[in-house]
Structure 1
Amino acid sequence: MNLSGPFIKRPVATMLLSLAIMLLGGVSFGLLPVSPLPQMDFPVIVVQASLPGASPEVMASTVATPLERSFGAIAGVNTMSSRSSQGSTRVILQFDLDRDINGAAREVQAAINASRNLLPSGMRSMPTYKKVNPSQAPIMVLSLTSDVLEKGQLYDLASTILSQSLSQVRGVGEVQIGGSSLPAVRIELEPQLLNQYGVALDDVRNAIANANQRRPKGSVEDDQRLWQIQANDQLEKARDYEPLIIHYKDGAALRLKDVAKVSDGVEDRYNSGFFNDDAAVLLVINRQAGANIIETVNEIKAQLPALQAVLPASVKLNLAMDRSPVIKATLHEAEMTLLIAVALVILVVFLFLGNFRASVIPTLAVPVSLVGTFAVMYLYGFSLNNLSLMALILATGLVVDDAIVVLENISRHIDEGIAPMKAAYLGAKEVGFTLLSMNVSLVAVFLSILFMGGIIQSLFREFSITLAAAIVVSLVVSLTLTPMLCARWLKPHTPGQENTLQRWSRCSNEWMVGKYATSLDWVLRHKRLTLFSLLVTIGVNVALYVVVPKTFMPQQDTGQLIGFVRGDDGLSFSVMQPKMEIFRRAVLKDTAVESVAGFIGGNNGTNNAFMLVRLKPIKERDISAQKVIERLRKEMPKVPGAQLMLMADQDLQFGGGREQTTSQYSYILQSGDLGELRQWYPKVVSALRALPELTAIDAREGRGAQQVTLVVDRDQAKRLGVDMNMVTAVLNNAYSQRQISTIYDSLNQYQVVMEVNPKYARDPITLNQVQVITSEGARIPLSTIAHYENSLEDDRVSHEGQFASESISFDMAEGVTVEQGTAAIERAIAKLGMPEDVIVKMAGTADAFAATQKGQPFMILGALLAVYLVLGVLYESYIHPLTILSTLPSAGVGALLSIYVLGGEFSLISLLGLFLLIGVVKKNAILMIDLALQLERHQGLDPLQSIRSACLQRLRPILMTTLAAILGALPLLLGGAEGSEMRQPLGLTIIGGLVFSQVLTLYTTPVVYLYLDRLRHKFNHWRGVRTDAALETPL
């Protein structure tokens, strides 16, 4: 059956079919979103709870633990971790990758509701949750600065105006605000004056709460009119609260301003942000899932002038971070790489055939196949990203292969004197099954990735389907458009009318065939030596895989650094600020740094700070982001009590199911015995610090946060009529920035915050000045029933899977791979001899690396099995697929040897290159074996004659297709601009594998074919079955 026959007869229909494919692809191209990497939806839900003034231990025991017990009953929870700090608890739930995030969210809300009775009664609101995708970094960060307005006012503008407007931009998912908090009326009480006037803290709180009300008051009406009733019940500013009467003494009114300082401030004074040298409020903008980053950023930028216009004149809206320039540059570089690859492939065809008309025909197959692939990408909801564009770049060398095979075979018949039309029918029919075998088995390799599950399936799904789609479209084009054009564009062969290039091409081909024939005959006379060399390559593959350094993913240069400043446990906000300033100035003065933004305090605690560093474009700094980090580490001044950890921001981030760490790599220690955990944690930290393979280790250096423990004499308190509720209530009123009332505005809601004057909160001795009221109304000092003790306690409490946990973050030293670093850690921990109830496990990138590392050999075997099954079905043979698969060991040696010699690392991108090699290298064997079988069936040649003749006839298309694939991948290897660190490992793997395998498989394939054919004959003879080649007709 000739699949190409109808299309050769109907040129108009064939051309229109090709135009329709391009039209669909062209329209789809404009609809594809743009992103750095494929959308990876890690189902993660973050639950946030707050109880102002509560210590980390109180938050852990009264908030985190009840919530964790409820969340633990939810199906599909992969990891659960929590971190409790002063007044805040954050629980992070990561679900299985196949878990529906919306269904999980409903169960999380139900669990929160079920925990209501177990949570502290003093919580002003129930815990809230949000769905997050930790693999998606913010697309833009804006900053608000002003020389006139306070940060609380800037935060209010960001919350009420900017956040709302930005959230309405198409593609924007969430806008987070940091660097300050909402405005609030702050009431700072004087305990001594309250004691003097005999006023309790609860009296003040109740007076304020009762004076500030916002409730419906109804209306009055007569027969014709209606009057709404309003009252001056809302107090809005500090000046409104100052004259408030809170008590009468001897008939005289005691006003709030007599016993307190009332001011307009912010809800949380332990919170500060900056942008370069200015105090700032930051707006962190995240995109919606699947949104086009470039379009979203452009729409935000278009809105900025209008937003600036509605802000006060003294407020400046600055662009602190923008991911789009790097993404644009990366995609532009990928697009240029694609065009270069296309040009190189066209050059190969032209040089080998020496005919302009002939070279145009396969050239047309490239745009039709690539553009048509865009339609499939759109139907599957894919985006234009680094991986999908890499698939298209590689497809350039693959899709032209089919057209080359058809064109070369038709051209050979024309050179033999057959008319172009007849040659097109004959040539297309001869290679139809060959094309089907090559492409179906190639698609099977890529689609096998979809069954691997986990991170690899999520990450490479778009790559594999995009490449498979391009191959399928190219098969259609090669069986329809290519033979039709050959029948009508190629001229009949006229002896003696060759041009110089055609003559050179013919002579070069004859010379190559002659040299190949001589060497092939020698090999066929020394088959055992050749077979032995093939067996050696299998052993070399194993040896190289063991010794080649391995990592998870190539380190990207996104033009951004993330910095974490960790202060000693217990450092106050006022002490932490100048330390952060030292780090900020040191980073900002580096010549490669364009801007620095960040914030201190907030939910992260007073001794923690975050920094976002934007680097200059790579052409202006001439060094990678990692080199900038290394330089900053060396030049960073030593700051007592604080440490700055820097890491390069990556498009692909892991560890989202746990509390954010200060590096890509981290280890978690957990135990049900808190004492055991605290005993072994410092030993593990010391062991890791001694390893030269690690650097920038971030770990808690002991329990150093100062704590005041109030020890109440319960018997004495009972005699005096004081219970624990009264004690904790008075402490809450005095020291926890308690929110006691709400101010309702037309745009937002603000709080009234009450505490004692900060000067009375600087030393524990001030606790003696606090008075409590007995059940009989008498006032007694707190020291009458209690004394305080100083101790050291954790400033944060972490849980992992409901067990107490501690984390250690680190980075790999220069030149050390993830594999080498994790191996060194495992050896160091094994020497410690920890008890079984202390569990150590990897987290973040180290965990992802370990998970993928274990399954890599099985993934490769799975792909090989898929190819074997497909080829076995197509050839109706158990033996011939083995001959085809024998080409793969040499490709593996070439790929791994290239990585090893050039000092590279075997990553997931390199693994992807091996999958490509499995699909590409076997094409050579298919071209040989398919023709050899035809010669045996139709011309009665013996196996030796048929395979030798097939090798010589198919030498030119084999060299053309291989060289096209190599040159198609060459731009991936040589590119050095944005995004090249993701493409280079793929190009290196493919080129190394193709070059090495091309040399060997031209000789090993015919030898293996002969040995397996002999084995087949012996096996069939033993079974008493005929072995005629005619019986082995493929599908």
Structure 2
Amino acid sequence: MNLSGPFIRRPVATMLLSLAIVLLGGVSFGLLPVSPLPQMDFPVIVVQASLPGASPEVMASTVATPLERSFGVIPGVNTMSSRSSQGSTRVILQFDLDRDINGAAREVQAAINASRNLLPSGMRSMPTYKKVNPSQAPVMVLSLTSDVLQKGQLYDLASTILSQSLSQVPGVGEVQIGGSSLPAVRIELEPQALNQYGVALDDVRTTIANANVRRPKGSLEDDQRNWQIQANDQLEKAKDYEPLIIHYQNGAALRLGDVAKISDGVEDRYNSGFFNNDSAVLLVINRQAGANIIETVNEIKAQLPALQAVLPSSVKLNLAMDRSPVIKATLHEAEMTLLIAVALVVLVVYLFLGNFRASLIPTLAVPVSLIGTFSIMYLYGFSLNNLSLMALILATGLVVDDAIVVLENISRHIDEGIAPMKAAYLGAKEVGFTLLSMNVSLVAVFLSILFMGGIIESLFREFSITLAASIIVSLVVSLTLTPMLCARWLKPHAKGVQTRLQRWSERVNERMVSVYADSLDWVLRHRRLTLLSLLITIGVNIALYVVVPKTFMPQQDTGQLIGFVRGDDGLSFGVMQPKMDIFRKAVLADPAVQSVAGFIGGNNGTNNAVMLVRLKPIKERNISAQKVIERMRDEMPKVPGARLMLMADQDLQFGGGREQTTSQYSYILQSDDLAALREWYPKIVAAFKALPELTAIDAREGRGAQQTTLVVDRDTAKRLGVDMSMVTAVLNNAYSQRQISTIYDSLNQYEVVMEVNPKYAQSPETLNQVNVIGSNGQRIPLSAIAHYENSLQDDQVNHEGQFASQSLSFDMAPGVTVEQGTAAIERAVAKVGLPESVIAKMAGTSDAFAATQKSQPFMILGALVAVYLVLGILYESYIHPLTILSTLPSAGVGALLSIYLLGGEFSLISLLGLFLLIGVVKKNAILMIDLALQLERHSGLEPLASIREACLLRLRPILMTTLAAILGALPLLLSTAEGAEMRQPLGLTIIGGLIFSQVLTLYTTPVVYLYLDRLRHRFNAWRGVRTDGALETPL
């Protein structure tokens, strides 16, 4: 059956079919979103709960533990971790990748509701949750600065105006605000004045709450009119609270202003942000899932002038971080690489054929196949990203293969004197099955990735389907457009009428065939030696895979760094700020840095800060992000009590089921025995610090934060009419920044915060100045019923899977791979000898690396099995697929040897290159084996003669397709601009594997074919099957 026949006879229909493919692809291209990497949806839900004033230990035991017990029974929870700090608990749940996030969210809400009765009664609100995708980095960060307005006012503008407007921009998801908090009326009480007038803290709280209310008041109505009733029941500013009467002393009114300092401040004074050298409020903007990053950023930028216009003139809206320039540059570089690859492939075809008209035919096949792929990408909801564009770049060298095979076979018949139309029918029919075998088996290789599951399937799904789609479109084009154009564009063979290039091309081809024929004859006479070389190649593969350095993913240069400033346990907010300023100024002074933004305090704790560092474009700094980090580490000033950890921001983030760490690599210890955990954690930290393979180790090394424990004499307290609820209530009123009332505004709601004057909250001794009112109304100093004891406690309590945990983060030292670092860690931990009660495990990127390392051999084996099954079905043979698969070890040696010799690392991108090699290298074997089988069946040649003839006839298309694939990958290898770190490993793997395999398989394939053919005859004779040429039929 000749699949190409109808298309050769109907040129108009064929051209219109190709035009339809191009039009659909062109329209789809404009609809594809743009992103740095494929959309990876890690189903993560974050639950946040607060109880102002509660210690980390109290938050862990009374809030985190009840929630974790409820969440633990939800099906599909992969990891669960929590962090409890002063007044705050955060629980992070990561579900299985195939778990529906909306269904999981409903179950989380149900679990929160079920925990209601187990949570402390003093919580102002129930815990809340939100769905997050940790693999998505913010697309933009804006900063608000002003020389006039206070930080709380800036935060209010960001919350009421900017956040609302930005959320309406197409493509914008969540807008987070940091660097301060909403304005609030702060009431700072004077304990001595309260004691003097005999006023209890709770009396003040009740008075304020009763004086500031906002409730319905109804209306009045007569026969004609209606009156709405209003009252001055709300106090809006600090000055409105000063005249409040809280007590009468001997008939004289005691007003709030007599016993307290009242000011307009912020809800949380332990929260501050900055942009470069200015105090700032930051707006962190995330995109919606699947949104086009570049279009979203452009839409935001278009709105900025209008937003600036509605802000007060003293407020400046600055662009602190923008992801789009790096993404634009990366995609532009990828597109240029694609164009260069197309040009190189066309050049190869032209040089080999020496005929401009003939070279146009496969040249047309390339754009039609690539553009047609966009429509399939759109149907699958894919985006234009680094991996999908790499797939298209590599497809350039693959899609031209089919056209080359068809064109070369038709040209060979024309050179033999056959008319172009007849040659097109005959040539297309001869290679139709060959093309089907080549492409179906190649598609099987990439589609096998979709069955791997986990991170690999999620990450490489778009790459695999995009490449498979381009191959399928290429097959259609090669069976339709290519033979039709050959029938009408190629001229009949005219002897002696050749261009200089054609004559040169023909001489080179004849010379290559002659040299190859002589060397092939020698190889066929020394088959055992050739077979031995193949066996050695298999052994070398294994040895190289063991010794080649391995890593998870290439380190990206996204033009951004993330800095984490960690202060010693117990450092106050006031002490931490100047330390942060030292680091900020040092980072900003680096010549590669464009801007710095960040914030200190908030949910991160008063002794922690986060820094977002925006680097200059790579062409301006001429140094990689990792080199910038190394330079900063060397030049960073030493700050007592604090340290700065820097890491290059990555598009691909792992460890989303846990708190953000200060590096990509982390290690976790967990135990149900807290004492054992505290005993062994320092030993692990010491072991890590002794490893030269690791650097920038971030661990909790302090003895803990200072804690004051009030020890109440319950008997004395009972005698004086005081119970524990009274004691905890007075402490809560005095030291918890307690929100006691709410001010309702037309745009927002603001809190009234009560506490003692901060100067009375600087040491445990100030507790003696706080009085509690007994049941008989008597004023009793706390010192009369209790004493305090100072101790050291963790300022943060972490849980991992409901057990207490401690973690440490680290980076690999320069030149050390993830594999080497992981091996060193395993040796060090084994030497420490942890007890069974303490469990240790890798987390984050190192955990993902370990998981993929275990699955890589099975992935490669799965691809080989898929190819064998497909080829076995197509050839109706158990033996011939083995001949084709015998070409693969040489490709592995070439790829691994190239990585090893050039000092590279074997990563998931390199693994992707190996999958591609499996498909490309076996195509060459199919070209030889398929023709040899045809010669055996239809020409009656013996196996030796048929395989020799097939090798010589297929030499030119094999060299053309291989060289096209090499040149298609060459721009990847030589890339130096943005995104090069992702493209270079793929180019190196493919080029190294193709060059080595090309040299070897031209000789090993015919030898293996002959050995397996002999085996086939013996096997058929044993099972009673007659062997008729290349066919097997039952007797």
Query: Which bracket does the TM-score occupy, shorter chain normalised?
Result: over 0.9
SS in 1 for 2:598: strand
Structural mapping, 1:487-636, within 5 Å: 487-636=487-636
Whether the 8 Å CA contact 1:669–1:840 is kept in 2: the answer is yes
Shift of 1:1032: 4.8
Inter-partner Cα distance in structure 2 for 1:66 and 1:1032 = 70
Shift of 1:776: 1.1
Question: Comparing 434-443 with 768-777, which one deviates more in the overlay?
Answer: 768-777
Shift of 1:122: 0.8
Give 2:381's aligned residue: 381
SS in 1 for 2:590: coil
Give 2:258's aligned residue: 258
Q: Which string of whole-angstrom CA distances, capped at 9 and with x for unpartnered residues, describes residues 336-359 of structure 1? A: 000000000000000000000100
Shift of 1:777: 1.1
Give 2:84's aligned residue: 84
Q: TM-score, normalised by structure 1?
A: 1.00
Give 1:326's aligned residue: 326
Shift of 1:318: 0.1
Inter-partner Cα distance in structure 2 for 1:47 and 1:376 = 38
Inter-partner Cα distance in structure 2 for 1:454 and 1:491 = 54
Whether the 8 Å CA contact 2:144–2:154 is kept in 1: the answer is yes
Alignment pair present for 1:224 and 2:229: no
Inter-partner Cα distance in structure 2 for 1:702 and 1:198 = 42
Inter-partner Cα distance in structure 2 for 1:234 and 1:778 = 33
Give 1:688's aligned residue: 688
Match for 1:336: what amino acid? M
Give 1:167's aligned residue: 167
Give 2:740's aligned residue: 740
Alignment pair present for 1:355 and 2:355: yes
Match for 1:901: what amino acid? L
Give 2:241's aligned residue: 241
Q: Which string of whole-angstrom CA distances, capped at 9 and with x for unpartnered residues, describes residues 830-871 of structure 1? A: 001110110000110000000100000000000000000000
Inter-partner Cα distance in structure 1 for 2:327 and 2:891 = 33
Q: Which string of whole-angstrom CA distances, capped at 9 and with x for unpartnered residues, describes residues 500-548 of structure 1? A: 0000011110000000000000000000000000000000000000000
Whether the 8 Å CA contact 1:682–1:702 is kept in 2: the answer is no
Q: Which string of whole-angstrom CA distances, capped at 9 and with x for unpartnered residues, describes residues 292-330 of structure 1? A: 000000000000000000000000000000000000000
Structural mapping, 1:927-966, within 5 Å: 927-966=927-966
Shift of 1:719: 1.2
Give 2:727's aligned residue: 727
Inter-partner Cα distance in structure 2 for 1:1032 and 1:631 = 69
Whether the 8 Å CA contact 2:34–2:385 is kept in 1: the answer is yes
Q: Which string of whole-angstrom CA distances, capped at 9 and with x for unpartnered residues, describes residues 182-221 of structure 1? A: 0000000000000000100000000000000000111111
SS in 1 for 2:585: helix
Unaligned stretches of 5+ in structure 2?
none
SS in 2 for 1:1026: strand
Alignment pair present for 1:481 and 2:481: yes
Shift of 1:1024: 2.0
Inter-partner Cα distance in structure 1 for 2:524 and 2:261 = 99
Inter-partner Cα distance in structure 1 for 2:111 and 2:1030 = 69
Match for 2:833: what amino acid? G
Inter-partner Cα distance in structure 1 for 2:1019 and 2:869 = 20
Shift of 1:1029: 2.3
Shift of 1:602: 0.4
Inter-partner Cα distance in structure 1 for 2:223 and 2:366 = 83
Inter-partner Cα distance in structure 1 for 2:417 and 2:223 = 108
Shift of 1:1022: 1.4
Give 2:186's aligned residue: 186
Whether the 8 Å CA contact 1:875–1:1032 is kept in 2: the answer is no
Shift of 1:718: 1.2
Give 1:176's aligned residue: 176
Number of residue pairs matched by the alignment: 1034
Whether the 8 Å CA contact 1:596–1:613 is kept in 2: the answer is yes
Alignment pair present for 1:127 and 2:127: yes
Alignment pair present for 1:1003 and 2:1034: no
Match for 1:151: what amino acid? K
Give 2:970's aligned residue: 970
Alignment pair present for 1:899 and 2:899: yes
Whether the 8 Å CA contact 2:152–2:266 is kept in 1: the answer is yes
Inter-partner Cα distance in structure 2 for 1:218 and 1:403 = 83
Shift of 1:1031: 2.8
SS in 2 for 1:137: coil
Give 2:206's aligned residue: 206
Give 2:1026's aligned residue: 1026
Whether the 8 Å CA contact 1:4–1:479 is kept in 2: the answer is yes
Match for 1:687: what amino acid? A
Give 1:656's aligned residue: 656
Give 1:834's aligned residue: 834
SS in 2 for 1:510: helix
Whether the 8 Å CA contact 2:568–2:702 is kept in 1: the answer is no
Inter-partner Cα distance in structure 2 for 1:987 and 1:847 = 27
SS in 1 for 2:36: coil
Inter-partner Cα distance in structure 1 for 2:732 and 2:1030 = 93
Shift of 1:223: 1.1
CA RMSD, Structure 1 to Structure 2 (Å): 0.7
Inter-partner Cα distance in structure 2 for 1:833 and 1:27 = 62
Whether the 8 Å CA contact 1:704–1:792 is kept in 2: the answer is yes
Give 1:709's aligned residue: 709
Whether the 8 Å CA contact 2:1025–2:1032 is kept in 1: the answer is no
Whether the 8 Å CA contact 2:1026–2:1032 is kept in 1: the answer is no
Match for 1:536: what amino acid? I
Whether the 8 Å CA contact 2:338–2:393 is kept in 1: the answer is yes
Inter-partner Cα distance in structure 1 for 2:284 and 2:108 = 26
Inter-partner Cα distance in structure 2 for 1:545 and 1:894 = 11
Give 1:756's aligned residue: 756
Inter-partner Cα distance in structure 2 for 1:393 and 1:291 = 24
Q: Which string of whole-angstrom CA distances, capped at 9 and with x for unpartnered residues, describes residues 357-413 of structure 1? A: 100000000000000000000000000000000000000000000000000000000
Whether the 8 Å CA contact 1:665–1:809 is kept in 2: the answer is yes
Q: Which string of whole-angstrom CA distances, capped at 9 and with x for unpartnered residues, describes residues 83-108 of structure 1? A: 00011000000000000000000000
Give 2:292's aligned residue: 292
Inter-partner Cα distance in structure 1 for 2:1032 and 2:736 = 85
Give 2:6's aligned residue: 6
Give 2:19's aligned residue: 19
Match for 1:872: what amino acid? G
Match for 2:791: what amino acid? S
Q: Which string of whole-angstrom CA distances, capped at 9 and with x for unpartnered residues, describes residues 587-621 of structure 1? A: 00000000000000001100000000000000000
Shift of 1:704: 2.2
Inter-partner Cα distance in structure 2 for 1:393 and 1:800 = 43
Q: Which string of whole-angstrom CA distances, capped at 9 and with x for unpartnered residues, describes residues 17-67 of structure 1? A: 000000000000000000000000000000000111111001101100000
Shift of 1:716: 1.0
Shift of 1:1030: 5.4
Inter-partner Cα distance in structure 1 for 2:702 and 2:269 = 27
Match for 2:67: what amino acid? L
Match for 1:25: what amino acid? G
Whether the 8 Å CA contact 2:558–2:648 is kept in 1: the answer is yes
Structural mapping, 1:664-683, within 5 Å: 664-683=664-683
Give 1:419's aligned residue: 419
Q: TM-score, normalised by structure 2?
A: 1.00
Aligned-pair identity (%): 90
Give 1:786's aligned residue: 786
Whether the 8 Å CA contact 1:868–1:882 is kept in 2: the answer is yes
Shift of 1:703: 3.0
Inter-partner Cα distance in structure 1 for 2:687 and 2:1031 = 68
SS in 2 for 1:557: coil
Match for 2:677: what amino acid? L
SS in 1 for 2:846: helix
Whether the 8 Å CA contact 1:48–1:91 is kept in 2: the answer is yes
Give 1:61's aligned residue: 61
SS in 1 for 2:1025: coil
Give 1:647's aligned residue: 647
SS in 2 for 1:1027: strand
Q: Which structure 1 residue ranges, 4+ long, deviate > 3 Å from structure 2?
A: none
Give 1:269's aligned residue: 269
Give 2:437's aligned residue: 437
Inter-partner Cα distance in structure 1 for 2:567 and 2:521 = 74
